[in-house]
A and B are shown apart, each in its own frame.
Chain A
């Protein structure tokens, strides 16, 4: 009678780190990690030694001292006596503004162009492929400069609006297109304006509620309610009613030509427009390709089956094709949003005061703290990119194929 025993455990020998496949990969990874740490340490040490030899050190005191320069577009209060840190924040907000605006418009351009490129209309589809190929294959910096140059050269200077017979006139008497930017009327919030705004917000909620009700009704009973015109009605009618009942609490502040420039109203500066537009059309071309790829990834049979059920082409696109295509479209779309944010650093070419221009440009130059500023910039862009990724991944998870 024999007793089954476990085979004797081989005692661990050092040579097994190399010879035993169970440990070998770990060994190599540990060595690689060590080499990596040592090389980074070497580089950091080299940097610090060289800085010390040049009599420099790494210090962030400069962030608290007055910046001493002015910025042409500030979303928060800022003057030349504000600190360098505040100048950096102004730049960060400007970066986020242009990145947000460009992401929205690039998505609109991209989706339109992507869908239309698959159109059966020969002219439309060729026009869209022309757009995609032209914009995708020329660097975005060149587009930014082209658009900015065209704006400054073609649009009239503010002084062209002066005099009894001005060379240029304002559109509808309220919007001025100049080579320094576009001047728009600004809303003036009188007493009672909050009620109008709140009504409008409630209307937006109402539109969503109505559409959800329509969908539920469709699924429950098969009865299809119109969504187009009722949505518009819910959106605007109550707000307009409240607006007139309260005696027009919101008025407009028109830009007027005074002194050297237009004053009053809202100024959208030429650098912002050039950067925003260039980033939008450039990245829009890439997004168009993503959208096209997404739509083509949906089997043709799906479209045919939907058509066989009697759905009209618009509904086929909205109900059958796009929901499936989104799964393919969204992951590369995240990269495009990251690209927009990073490409916005090309703002320096047109004098837009983004964070690269304030912290990484003027502050860096005036204080000479190049390494500190660049480290901060890297930290900022990394944070923003990771945040965009995280948010978009949450959205991606909500639309991806749910397996039950």
Chain B
């Protein structure tokens, strides 16, 4: 380290090593509250409802972790973060985990020192345009003004897409989804680009959603998932396997409604291991045996969470598509509980 050059003579070095990574799991348990970073508001994924209570697909992950660790799905302090503040908030310890439409990329995993614990939504970047613009393909957007959330992977994909197709555009950088929506509706930009799920969610809040179309091109892979700081593997395991528990629960037919009944009298050894009636998986994680039962009971299994927040029955209206279980031809797949 370079500090030895600068400070070699100083004897105070020993005093400064306050950063020794104390376990996040113990921190959270001692605090009695999970600090979970979410978006500043994206309906369906994370947004406060009319009662000020946070609801959504990402929020459900936070609640499941809180239920597993603290036995209370409501023991979560939701910290709204923007595209720009989210990583600093996580790296500085302001939040324990980030569940915020964050794309798993090489540099974030390796260079920014975060650990992505899995993927809870397979997404891709799309474009939304007003119907009366008469555009039917993103390749017709030559010269368009594009609203884009700044500091995101979408910003880089956008530059790549227009460059690869040899067409030009003018970016309008914005900070939050609400701001982007306002600019887009005022006509200050011709098209709004972000993850296709985010576009669907934004469009659902419009007065006339039918006046806007999502263009068919999906220009990137955006695996979105929760992440934690690098270097605390115990905590990463807790979040990872909580997410996996929700996914496995759907696969095995365990729902928030039947979880207790299944735990009491199942003949399936994998369900028994998942729900802690057999084996010591919970203990290995540093939790009790009932951790996954609580996680599943909090907001339901992966499929329930999907259907309740962003599925086809909701105003967001997203089909399962890639996000179906592997048994149904999708990509959602949890490693086995054994």
A contact set with B: CB distance below 8 Å? 38, 41-42, 44-46, 48-50, 52-58, 68-72, 79-81, 152-153, 156-160, 179-180, 258-261, 263, 270, 348-349, 351, 353, 357, 361-362, 364-368, 370
Question: Of B3, B145, B187, B190, which is within 8 A of A49 by CB?
Answer: B3
- The answer, yes or no, to whether B30 is at the interface (CB within 8 Å) is no
Please give the distance in Å from B183's CB to the nearest CB on chain A.
6
Q: Tell whether, in the assembled complex, residue B1 and residue A348 are in contact, meaning their CB atoms are under 8 Å apart.
A: no
Q: Which one of B1, B16, B18 has the highest number of Cβ atoms from chain A below 10 Å of its Cβ?
A: B16
Please give the distance in Å from B291's CB to the nearest CB on chain A.
28
- The answer, yes or no, to whether B13 is at the interface (CB within 8 Å) is yes
Which residues of B, 124-159, contact A by the 8 Å Cβ criterion? 133, 141-145, 150-152, 155-156, 158-159
- The answer, yes or no, to whether B50 is at the interface (CB within 8 Å) is no
Q: With A58-B2, A370-B88 as given contacts, are A351 and B174 in contact (CB-CB < 8 Å)?
A: yes
Q: Tell whether, in the assembled complex, residue A41 and residue B21 are in contact, meaning their CB atoms are under 8 Å apart.
A: no
Please give the distance in Å from A84's CB to the nearest CB on chain B.
12
Those 4 A-B pairs whose CB atoms lie nearest each other, nearest first: A157-B187, A365-B151, A80-B159, A48-B3
Q: Tell whether, in the assembled complex, residue A54 and residue B91 are in contact, meaning their CB atoms are under 8 Å apart.
A: yes
Q: Tell whether, in the assembled complex, residue B143 and residue A263 are in contact, meaning their CB atoms are under 8 Å apart.
A: yes
Q: Tell whether, in the assembled complex, residue B10 and residue A69 are in contact, meaning their CB atoms are under 8 Å apart.
A: no
Residue of A with least CB distance to B141: A260
Question: Of A58, A68, A152, A348, which is within 8 A of B156 by CB?
Answer: A68
Q: Tell whether, in the assembled complex, residue B143 and residue A70 are in contact, meaning their CB atoms are under 8 Å apart.
A: no
- The answer, yes or no, to whether B15 is at the interface (CB within 8 Å) is yes
Q: Tell whether, in the assembled complex, residue B19 and residue A270 are in contact, meaning their CB atoms are under 8 Å apart.
A: no
Q: Tell whether, in the assembled complex, residue B171 and residue A70 are in contact, meaning their CB atoms are under 8 Å apart.
A: yes
Q: Report the separation of the CA atoms of residues A219 and B173 in the bound assembly, to the nearest whole angstrom.
A: 58
Q: With A259-B142, A361-B150 as given contacts, are A54 and B15 in contact (CB-CB < 8 Å)?
A: no
Query: Could you name 30 residue pairs across A and B whose Cβ atoms are closer than 8 Å?
Result: A38-B10, A38-B12, A41-B7, A41-B10, A42-B15, A45-B3, A45-B10, A46-B16, A46-B18, A48-B2, A49-B13, A50-B16, A50-B19, A53-B20, A54-B91, A57-B1, A69-B159, A70-B158, A70-B169, A72-B171, A80-B159, A261-B190, A263-B143, A351-B150, A351-B173, A357-B150, A362-B150, A362-B173, A368-B112, A370-B88
Q: Report the separation of the CA atoms of residues A180 and B170 in the bound assembly, to the nearest whole angstrom.
A: 10
- The answer, yes or no, to whether B221 is at the interface (CB within 8 Å) is no
Please give the distance in Å from B231's CB to the nearest CB on chain A.
7
- The answer, yes or no, to whether B172 is at the interface (CB within 8 Å) is yes
Q: Report the separation of the CA atoms of residues A158 and B189 in the bound assembly, to the nearest whole angstrom.
A: 10
Please give the distance in Å from A39's CB to the nearest CB on chain B.
10
Q: Tell whether, in the assembled complex, residue A152 and residue B183 are in contact, meaning their CB atoms are under 8 Å apart.
A: yes
A-B contact count, CB below 8 Å? 149
Residue of A with least CB distance to B111: A368
Q: Tell whether, in the assembled complex, residue B156 and residue A69 are in contact, meaning their CB atoms are under 8 Å apart.
A: yes
Q: Report the separation of the CA atoms of residues A52 and B163 in the bound assembly, to the nearest whole angstrom.
A: 38
- The answer, yes or no, to whether B210 is at the interface (CB within 8 Å) is no
Q: Tell whether, in the assembled complex, residue A152 and residue B188 are in contact, meaning their CB atoms are under 8 Å apart.
A: yes
Residue of A with least CB distance to B229: A54
- The answer, yes or no, to whether B31 is at the interface (CB within 8 Å) is no
Q: Report the separation of the CA atoms of residues A323 and B47 in the bound assembly, to the nearest whole angstrom.
A: 60
- The answer, yes or no, to whether B312 is at the interface (CB within 8 Å) is no
Q: Tell whether, in the assembled complex, residue B231 and residue A44 are in contact, meaning their CB atoms are under 8 Å apart.
A: no
B contact set with A: CB distance below 8 Å? 1-3, 6-7, 10, 12-13, 15-21, 83-84, 87-88, 91, 107-108, 111-113, 133, 141-145, 150-152, 155-156, 158-160, 162-163, 169-175, 182-183, 186-190, 229-231
Question: Of A50, A180, A258, which is within 8 A of B145 by CB?
Answer: A180
Q: Tell whether, in the assembled complex, residue B172 and residue A72 are in contact, meaning their CB atoms are under 8 Å apart.
A: yes
**Chain A residues within an 8 Å CB radius of B141:** 260
**Chain A residues within an 8 Å CB radius of B142:** 259
**Chain B residues within an 8 Å CB radius of A38:** 10, 12
Q: Report the separation of the CA atoms of residues A163 and B12 in the bound assembly, to the nearest whole angstrom.
A: 74
Q: Report the separation of the CA atoms of residues A259 and B83 in the bound assembly, to the nearest whole angstrom.
A: 31
Please give the distance in Å from B199's CB to the nearest CB on chain A.
19
Question: Of A49, A180, A351, which is within 8 A of B19 by CB?
Answer: A49
Known contacts A44-B6, A48-B6; 18 further A-B pairs (Cβ under 8 A): A38-B10, A42-B15, A44-B3, A45-B3, A46-B16, A53-B20, A54-B113, A56-B113, A152-B186, A179-B188, A260-B143, A261-B144, A351-B172, A353-B173, A361-B84, A365-B150, A365-B152, A368-B87
Q: Which one of A50, A53, A180, A261 has the highest number of Cβ atoms from chain B below 10 Å of its Cβ?
A: A180
Q: Tell whether, in the assembled complex, residue B230 and residue A55 are in contact, meaning their CB atoms are under 8 Å apart.
A: yes
**Chain B residues within an 8 Å CB radius of A48:** 1-3, 6-7
Q: Tell whether, in the assembled complex, residue A260 and residue B3 are in contact, meaning their CB atoms are under 8 Å apart.
A: no
Q: Tell whether, in the assembled complex, residue A362 and residue B188 are in contact, meaning their CB atoms are under 8 Å apart.
A: no
**Chain B residues within an 8 Å CB radius of A160:** 187
Q: Report the separation of the CA atoms of residues A215 and B282 in the bound assembly, to the nearest whole angstrom.
A: 93
Please give the distance in Å from A51's CB to the nearest CB on chain B.
9
Residue of B with least CB distance to A71: B171
Q: Tell whether, in the assembled complex, residue B188 and residue A270 are in contact, meaning their CB atoms are under 8 Å apart.
A: yes
Q: Tell whether, in the assembled complex, residue A365 and residue B107 are in contact, meaning their CB atoms are under 8 Å apart.
A: no
Q: Report the separation of the CA atoms of residues A45 and B6 in the bound assembly, to the nearest whole angstrom.
A: 9
Question: Of B10, B133, B162, B163, which is within 8 A of A159 by CB?
Answer: B133
Q: Report the separation of the CA atoms of residues A142 and B257 in the bound assembly, to the nearest whole angstrom.
A: 50
Q: Tell whether, in the assembled complex, residue A357 and residue B188 are in contact, meaning their CB atoms are under 8 Å apart.
A: no
Question: Of A42, A68, A69, A365, which is within 8 A of B83 by CB?
Answer: A365
Q: Report the separation of the CA atoms of residues A260 and B147 in the bound assembly, to the nearest whole angstrom.
A: 14
Residue of B with least CB distance to A62: B111
Q: Tell whether, in the assembled complex, residue A44 and residue B7 are in contact, meaning their CB atoms are under 8 Å apart.
A: yes
Q: Report the separation of the CA atoms of residues A159 and B145 in the bound assembly, to the nearest whole angstrom.
A: 12
Q: Tell whether, in the assembled complex, residue A54 and residue B230 are in contact, meaning their CB atoms are under 8 Å apart.
A: yes
Question: Of B16, B107, B186, which is within 8 A of A157 by CB?
Answer: B186
Please give the distance in Å from A176's CB to the nearest CB on chain B.
14
**Chain B residues within an 8 Å CB radius of A361:** 84, 150-151, 173
**Chain A residues within an 8 Å CB radius of B12:** 38, 41-42, 45
Q: Report the separation of the CA atoms of residues A366 and B84 in the bound assembly, to the nearest whole angstrom.
A: 9
**Chain A residues within an 8 Å CB radius of B133:** 159, 260
Q: Tell whether, in the assembled complex, residue B21 and residue A53 are in contact, meaning their CB atoms are under 8 Å apart.
A: yes
Please give the distance in Å from A389's CB to the nearest CB on chain B.
30
Question: Of B6, B91, B163, which is within 8 A of A80 by CB?
Answer: B163
Question: Of A49, A70, A260, which is within 8 A of B159 by CB?
Answer: A70
Q: Tell whether, in the assembled complex, residue B21 and residue A42 are in contact, meaning their CB atoms are under 8 Å apart.
A: no
**Chain B residues within an 8 Å CB radius of A152:** 182-183, 186, 188
Q: Report the separation of the CA atoms of residues A71 and B145 in the bound assembly, to the nearest whole angstrom.
A: 12
